[in-house]
Amino acid sequence: MNILIGQDFDEFSAVGAGRVAAFIRENPGKLLCFAAGDTPLGIYQALIAMQARGEVDLNSMYYVGLDEWVGIGYETKGSCAQVMQDTFYGPAGIEAGRIRVFNGLASDLEKECEDVNRWIAARGGIALTLLGIGMNGHIGFNEPFVDPERETLLVDLDEVTAEVGTKYFDGSSCPIKGITVGVKRLKEADQVILAACGEKKGGILKQTLVETPTIAVPSSLMQDHDQLTIITDTDAFRAMWGAGV
Ligand code: PGA
């Protein structure tokens, strides 16, 4: 496990972007799975800036969306698809044919899971995944006590996720179900990056990295991945030690 610590959000983002860009340069044409959420937004901005300087070709890769809220579509502000389009795929100029995101409005959600899983398989699986860590340890919408053997799945969202999720919907309540790439597919990735920043993430970072892995904390299931990189900042790292490690 590598742990990289930035002094602040900008340095955290630059470190994350550098790591992802290095992987892209070495693995053109492979499939990436990026999280929505606030944590990686600076990493996406930094990657786009690197591309503008000619340091990386983001359009040389394929992208699968990590997750989506069920019952809303791209048009709804707060959907993972719209967040990713506005903050990364659009500004990075990624061709539509290189992207597959979950359709939260699909009439048959189990079939949508299967279709996304087939799309992933057809590209040789996920090469690198960049994941945020939720306050409850979820990764994507793999909520506490998830079945770690699922490749893609439909889930009932945890109450912590529903509470935290209101921030994406201007404080309004958010959907109660989600659709996500599963732990099995994420663990198959050649490289896993777990990103967490800010003091509030100290406790869950400790549970993720130091305590015994458990399905009660899905992020901890990544502990034994042999190419795991943690990207964090001094606020989260200090809080983690303050949390009694
Ligand atoms: P955040 O969300 O990056 O907005 O903190 C992480 C998550 O809940 O998955």
Q: Within a domain: residue 210?
A: no
Hey, what amino acid is at 214? Answer: T
Active site residue 138: yes
245: confidence class by pLDDT, cuts 50, 70, 90: very low
Query: Domain span at residue 146?
Result: 2-180+189-199+227-239
pLDDT of residue 243: 63
Q: Within a domain: residue 44?
A: yes
pLDDT of residue 10: 97
Q: Within a domain: residue 207?
A: no
Whether residue 72 is predicted with pLDDT greater than 60 in this model: the reply is yes
Give Cβ neighbours of residue 212 (< 8 Å, ≥ 6 apart).
Answer: 220
pLDDT of residue 87: 98
Domains held by the chain: number: 1
Active site residue 67: yes
What lines the ligand 1 site, CB under 6 Å?
A: 37-39, 132, 134, 138, 164
Mean pLDDT across the chain, nearest whole number?
Answer: 96
Catalytic residue among 112, 136, 142, 225: 136
pLDDT of residue 237: 95
- How far apart are alpha carbons 125 and 104 in whole angstroms? 22
Whether residue 124 is predicted with pLDDT greater than 70 in this model: the reply is yes
- How far apart are alpha carbons 82 and 75 in whole angstroms? 7
CATH code of 41's domain: 3.40.50.1360
pLDDT of residue 101: 98
Whether residue 244 is predicted with pLDDT greater than 60 in this model: the reply is no
